[in-house]
Amino acid sequence: MSLKKQALSGIAWTFAQQMGVQLISFGVKIILARLLMPEMFGLIAMINVFIAIGQLLMDGGMTTSLIRTENPDQLDYSTVFSTNVLVSLGFYILIFFGAPYISVFYEQPILTDLVRVFALSFVINAFVAVHVAKLTKEMNFKKQMIIQIPSTLIGGATGVTMAFLGYGVWSLVGLNLAQALALSIQYWFFSGWRPGFKIDKSKWKYHFNFGYKMTLSGLLDRIYNNAYNIIIGKFFAPAQVGFFTQAESMRLLPVGQIGSVIGKVTYPLFANIKTDVELKNAYKKTMKLVLSIVIPMMLVLILVAEDFFLLLFGEKWLPAVPYFQILSIASIVRPISSYNLNILKVKGRSDLFLKVEVIKKIFGVIAIAIALPFGIMAMVISLTVVSYAFVLTNMIASGRLINYNVMEQIKDISLLYVIGVLIGLGIYFLFPMFKTDIKFLNILSVTVLFLAVYFGALLVFEKALVKTALSLLKKQ
């Protein structure tokens, strides 16, 4: 199968996987949001940073190195596997004994047991990280879909059942552990790969030299992304963390999944492209296609946010709406950052990747320090503003590697944003005159109207983009 056909097939299967997983997860999220109180989600958000760090250290960037390595052998895979498992066990021991200090920091005694049990998830994941990387390297996304969906169902069923039985916050822990365990068992059963429990010094050094810079970059990113939960959890009530977390997860849900679909496929695809000219063209087309979906999606969600939250989660979650609307403005540009960073990875510039992350996080920490005295809303606004500065930094760094400067990138995508914003403003000012008491009808009306006008405008002003999209659909 040609590289292009592999990419198209990969997008189709990954999209099917992501859609299936997210539909199940979204349904479970709605049920749990109605059964559990916001502060329970806030408690989990407080400890997510430790789980995220554990997951990152377990991987060490070495699975990313496997994907970009040409013709990795059994010893490559086994070396990374053994390293992942040992590191995950070591970090779990630190988390286990450090859990009481986490509880003292947040002044929430229940967190000691929560973090000790929840942290088992990254240990379980360590046993399949290489299996996932191997299938991704082979662009076998069909098998990943077959594995992922049942695992999500098992996790969701576990969480909902525990919530109905009155286990409260432990329902969220049970969901994650059940899903991780089901995923691990299936990958071992269906992937067809078995590790050798050995570490080759030269292989380890090769993958570590690339991976440790990715790990440091990721560590900065994970800590910064969870800094808001940490600070809000320290200075405000758990319910406020819950509102912020719900808004954050909801605004990341659509754009994150679309980005994940394309990113998962394009990383190994871009890694196989030999020339900068081809890489630039592939990147440009991919970016415009993704943005043509993300922009209308996020702008519609901003417009219908209140009805959306009321319909799905109930009145107790209304305080999350303004957070969601402001954060969604950041989501509109999120794909640009993701794909610019992919360029750095496929070019093997983990050193530049790390430098970029350090620069961005310095600005981010300054923004948090300035916003904190003014309350949660100021912090939400600062997160959104800083997101745009991050995008610009990523564009500068990656653009230099493939001769695609910032102004050229902005010129290529600006019309998509202009069209979306103008349509959004028009609906924002006109729709209140036609708004009804039926929430679903309001959401449906805004969605249909926005999409009809937006894609109609693309047919007029972005004919080449529409032609590319139709061509991909026909070939698929």
How do residues 118-128 score in pLDDT, each as one tens digit?
Answer: 999 888 988 88
Give the integer Cα–Cα distance in Å for 241 and 234. Answer: 9
> Domain boundary residue among 214, 249, 282?
214
Residues 6+ apart with CB under 8 A from 325: 302, 305
pLDDT at 61: 67
**What is the count of structural domains for the chain?**
2
Residue 20 has a pLDDT of 63
In this structure, are residues 336 and 287 in contact, taking their beta carbons and an 8 Å threshold? yes
- Domain membership flag for residue 272: yes
Higher pLDDT, 55 or 171: 171
- Check pLDDT > 60 for residue 313: yes
Q: What pLDDT is recorded for position 1?
A: 47
Select the more confidently predicted residue: 155 or 46: 155
Q: Is the pLDDT of residue 263 over 70?
A: no
Question: Is 136 a member of any domain?
Answer: yes
Least Cα distance to 56 among 207, 212, 171, 162 occurs for 212
Residues 171 and 303 occupy one common structural domain? no
CB 287 within 8 A of CB 415: no
Domain boundary among 157, 179, 214: 214
DSSP 69-131: SSS--HHHHHHHHHHHHHHHHHHHHHHHHHHHHHHHHHT-TTHHHHHHHHTHHHHHHHTTHHH
347 and 265 belong to one structural domain: yes
Quick one: which of 157, 154, 149, 124 has its CA closest to 32? 157
Provide the pLDDT confidence category of residue 130 given band limits of 50, 70 and 90: confident
Contact of 322 with 377, CB cutoff 8 Å? yes
Residue 229 lies in a domain: no
pTM of the full structure = 0.71
* 261 shares its domain with 183: no
Domain shared by 193 and 320, yes or no: no
What one-character DSSP code corresponds to residue 293? H
**Residue 476: partners with Cβ closer than 8 Å, 6 or more residues away:** 8, 9, 11, 12
- Do 205 and 243 fall within a single domain? no
Integer Cα distance of 332 and 254 in angstroms: 10
Average pLDDT, the chain: 81
219 domain-assigned: no
Name which residue leads in pLDDT, 270 or 298. 298
Residues 377, 248, single domain; the answer is yes
Q: Reply yes or no on whether the pLDDT at 99 is more than 60.
A: yes
- Report residue 156 as tokens: 């969701």
In a domain? residue 227: no
The reply to whether 42 and 158 lie within a common domain is yes
Where is the domain boundary, 154, 180, 214? 214
Which secondary-structure segment (H or E) carries 168? Answer: none
Q: Which residue has the higher pLDDT, 476 or 437?
A: 437
Q: What is the mean pLDDT of residues 417-429?
A: 92
What number is the average pLDDT over the span 244-248? 86
How many angstroms separate the CA atoms of 200 and 281, rounded? 38
Say whether pLDDT at 2 is over 50: no
DSSP 410-472: HHHHHHHHHHHHHHHHHHHHHGGGT--S-HHHHHHHHHHHHHHHHHHHHHHH-HHHHHHHHHH
CB 90 within 8 A of CB 124: no
First to last CA, the chain: 13
For residues 193 and 246, state if they share a domain. no
pLDDT, tens digit, for every residue of 175-231?
Answer: 999 999 998 888 888 877 788 777 878 887 877 777 677 777 777 777 777 777 788
Classify residue 228: in a domain, yes or no: no
Residue 364 domain-assigned?
A: yes
Q: Is 345 within 8 Å of 353 (Cβ atoms)?
A: yes
pLDDT per residue as tens digits for the range 188-203:
888 777 887 778 788 8
Q: Are residues 43 and 182 in the same domain?
A: yes
Confidence of residue 98 (pLDDT cuts 50, 70, 90): very high
- Residues 441 and 327 grouped into a single domain: yes
| CB proximity list for 430: less than 8 A, separation 6 or greater | none
Residue 319: domain span: 237-476
For residue 15, the model assigns a pLDDT of 57
In a domain, 373, yes or no: yes
Q: Are residues 205 and 287 in the same domain?
A: no
Same domain, 166 and 34: yes
